[in-house]
Amino acid sequence: MEIEPAEEVKEPPRIHRLDESVVNRIAAGEVIQRPVSAVKELVENSLDASSTSISVLVKDGGLKLIQVSDDGHGIRYEDLPILCERHTTSKLSKYEDLQSIKSMGFRGEALASMTYVGHVTVTTITRGQLHGYRVSYRDGVMENEPKACAAVKGTQIVIENLFYNMIARRKTLQNSADDYTKIVDLLSRFAIHHIDVSFSCRKHGAARADVHSVATPSRLNAIRSVYGLLVAQNLIKIEASDNDPSSSVFEMDGFISNSNYVAKKTTMVLFINDRLVECTALKRALEVVYVATLPKASKPFIYMSITLPPEHVDVNVHPTKREVSLLNQEVIVEKMQSVVESVLRNSNESRTFQEQTVEATPSVPSVTNNDLHLSPSPSGSKSQRVPVNKIVRTDSSDPAGRMHAYLYKNPQKYLGRDSSLTTVRSSVRQRRNLKETADLTSIQELINDIDSKCHSDLLDIVRQSTYVGMADDVFALLQHNTHLYLANVVNLRAGVKKASVETHSKIHLLGIFCRFYHN
């Protein structure tokens, strides 16, 4: 009998303290998720510094270079050594300060996180200084002492080789065009809210900025300069407020799109206490209103600025401060929804559509067999065939439905022959009223001969028929009452021109063709 070996008892793994550099790099990956996250943190720092002008320069979607320059109050020389250390900030000093925080930054993690995933260089100057200082940071500490340099008012922060030490993250961000689009969208949102600040964003090496806004007292002008005239002219101003402490206390103003605005996706720009955030519940609630009220404009453009007491907003719920938690959020969302629905239903604007005018096809005196073939123009290029959309008959009285509009012709032949509009009109009248305009007795006899020898039933079918379209290159479709007929247009026209045909047959065919063509 074999004895089974006793199972080895494994001891629980030991718990050890992570190295500080590992902790900082993990935290940096949460705060700086992609290049647009770094731009957002830097722009918010510039706004906290009371800047009136902010410019952003981007290379390769932000992976190679991100440069943010502002004209704010700058950074003191004494603060440069700890500028990029974790949890160093000038926004608060104790936890209770979060209850009344008004600045956009407060954790002191943004700059520190950037130094752990990229190479950061800061150039700054404060008021009253004769020169500025430039210093580089890596892994949260200065690489060298600050060096005196020439500088303009404010601060310039440059981030190079973002995610150079995070291979997996960098490989997932190779689509630089997508990241640059996100950065442009971010700056556009800041530009229409902070209308007293000038914003600029462009690619490295580009002469023209993709976002360029100047300070303006009108928010609608800011929207027009950033999102365009088509968006600005289709907006409705909205306002709402509530001062009931038992339910909700807030003030809201903004713009929403009307029934004429059409877009493929919803654009919602939401600021709560001047902080750019996202609120999925509010966005879905407003989309439901648009779908129910304006089915044709279910993808709206919405800008909202909501002001609440600071103690009613919890800003510390997301590493990138993208979301906030509101007191009585459901009540606030419901009231916003009712206000938007009321404004949309009470708006007197109706949806308008642009009309496209279709030019009538000019009458052509005659059509010959040679016109069926394409002939080169004087410039040497081939003339275009009749577009397919014009071979669809929609109205029996529409000139585009008459037979000559569907036959290939060479307009150059008639240009030299009948250059006068009066001559063309006279020719048309003569062909339509042969008996009245004929002066020769032989012509009158020919017409009488045609009338007497025409097949009355066939003539009635051709005269009262409606031209449907060309079935192919030979047969044309004619409708008479409830019947469809195929007319061999090629043989019909060949019979008119062929001299060897008997006289009576030729007259018969000529009469049918003339009455068909002109009636």
CA–CA separation, 135 vs 144, rounded Å?
A: 7
Closest C-alpha among 383, 405, 407 to residue 395: 405
CA–CA separation, 215 vs 54, rounded Å?
A: 11
Please compute the mean of the pLDDT values over residues 281-293 and round it to a whole number. Answer: 88
Confidence of residue 421 (pLDDT cuts 50, 70, 90): low
Closest C-alpha among 248, 222, 245, 220 to residue 234: 220
Closest C-alpha among 506, 502, 519 to residue 459: 519
Confidence (pLDDT) at 106: 74
Residue with tokens 């004494």: 78
Closest C-alpha among 148, 156, 133 to residue 65: 156
Confidence (pLDDT) at 226: 93
Q: Which of 282-286, 337-341, 489-493 has the lowest mean pLDDT?
A: 489-493
Closest C-alpha among 306, 302, 304 to residue 251: 306
CA–CA separation, 299 vs 163, rounded Å?
A: 36
State yes or no: pLDDT of 319 exceeds 80: no
CA–CA separation, 185 vs 58, rounded Å?
A: 13
Please compute the mean of the pLDDT values over residues 137-166 and round it to a whole number. Answer: 92
Please compute the mean of the pLDDT values over residues 125-150 and round it to a whole number. Answer: 92
Confidence (pLDDT) at 54: 95
Closest C-alpha among 149, 170, 185, 172 to residue 43: 185
- Contact present, 323 and 279 (Cβ < 8 Å): yes
Confidence of residue 155 (pLDDT cuts 50, 70, 90): very high
Confidence of residue 352 (pLDDT cuts 50, 70, 90): low
What percentage of the chain exceeds 90 in pLDDT?
Answer: 32
Q: Which of 30-39, 331-340, 457-466 has the lowest mean pLDDT?
A: 457-466
Using CA atoms, how far residue 256 sits from 290, 297, 303, in Å, is 10, 11, 6
- Contact present, 249 and 309 (Cβ < 8 Å): yes
Q: Which long-range contacts (CB under 8 A, 24 or more apart) does 436-443 make?
A: none
Closest C-alpha among 46, 122, 48 to residue 84: 122
State yes or no: pLDDT of 496 exceeds 70: no
Could you give the 3-state DSSP secondary structure of residue 202?
strand
State yes or no: pLDDT of 392 exceeds 90: no
Instruction: Give the CA count within 13 Å in the CB-facing half-sphere of 183.
Output: 34
Q: What is the 3-state secondary structure (H, E, C) of 436-448?
A: HHCCCHHHHHHHH
pLDDT tens sequence across 170-189:
888 877 778 899 999 999 99
Closest C-alpha among 110, 105, 115 to residue 316: 105
State yes or no: pLDDT of 353 exceeds 70: no
Q: Which residues fall within 8 angstroms of residue 450, CB to CB, at 6 or more apart?
A: 507, 508, 510, 511
CA–CA separation, 476 vs 26, rounded Å?
A: 76
Confidence (pLDDT) at 514: 44
Q: Which of 295-304, 362-371, 414-423, 464-473 has the lowest mean pLDDT?
A: 362-371
Q: What is the 3-state secondary structure (H, E, C) of 312-371?
A: HEECCCCCCCCCCEECCHHHHHHHHHHHHHHHHHHCCCCCCCCCCCCCCCCCCCCCCHHH
pLDDT tens sequence across 212-269:
999 999 999 999 999 999 899 999 999 998 888 777 888 999 999 988 888 888 899 9
Confidence (pLDDT) at 416: 47
For CATH 3.30.230.10, list the domain ranges present in the chain: 228-345
Please tell me which residue, 349 or 225, carries the higher pLDDT value: 225
The pTM score is: 0.65
Please tell me which residue, 475 or 47, carries the higher pLDDT value: 47
Q: 329-346 and 280-293 are packed helices; what angle lies between their axes, rounded to 10 degrees?
A: 30
CA–CA separation, 281 vs 275, rounded Å?
A: 17
Please tell me which residue, 234 or 499, carries the higher pLDDT value: 234
- Contact present, 117 and 165 (Cβ < 8 Å): yes
State yes or no: pLDDT of 398 exceeds 60: no
Exposure pattern of 63-82 as b/e (b: 16+ CB <10 Å)? bebbbbbbbbbbbebeebee
Please tell me which residue, 441 or 225, carries the higher pLDDT value: 225
Strand (E) or helix (H) holding 294: none
Confidence (pLDDT) at 316: 73
Confidence (pLDDT) at 148: 93
Q: Where are the beta strands (DSSP E) in 4-52?
A: none
CA–CA separation, 179 vs 374, rounded Å?
A: 51
Strand (E) or helix (H) holding 502: none
CA–CA separation, 419 vs 428, rounded Å?
A: 14
* DSSP symbols for 417-475: H---HHHHHHHHHHHH-HHHH--SHHHHHHHHHHHHHS-HHHHHHHHT-EEEEESSSSE
For CATH 3.30.565.10, list the domain ranges present in the chain: 20-213
Using CA atoms, how far residue 9 sits from 4, 6, 12, 13, 346, in Å, is 15, 9, 10, 12, 76
Q: Which residues fall within 8 angstroms of residue 55, CB to CB, at 6 or more apart?
A: 68, 69, 70, 199, 200, 201
Exposure pattern of 401-437 as b/e (b: 16+ CB <10 Å)? bbbbbbbbbbeebeeeeeeeeeebeeeeeeeeeeeee
CA–CA separation, 259 vs 235, rounded Å?
A: 9
Confidence (pLDDT) at 25: 80
Please compute the mean of the pLDDT values over residues 47-59 and round it to a whole number. Answer: 93
Q: Look at the alpha carbons of 227, 228, 230, 235 in this order and tell me if their dihedral is positive or negative.
A: positive
- Domain 228-345: CATH class, spelled out: alpha beta
Please compute the mean of the pLDDT values over residues 444-461 and round it to a whole number. Answer: 76
State yes or no: pLDDT of 30 exceeds 70: yes
Please tell me which residue, 221 or 375, carries the higher pLDDT value: 221
Confidence of residue 80 (pLDDT cuts 50, 70, 90): very high
Confidence (pLDDT) at 91: 74
What topology is assigned to 20-213 in CATH?
Heat Shock Protein 90 (3.30.565)
Confidence (pLDDT) at 174: 77
Please compute the mean of the pLDDT values over residues 423-427 and round it to a whole number. Answer: 62
Could you give the 3-state DSSP secondary structure of residue 382?
strand
Residue with tokens 């009469």: 511
Could you give the 3-state DSSP secondary structure of residue 230?
helix
Confidence of residue 417 (pLDDT cuts 50, 70, 90): very low
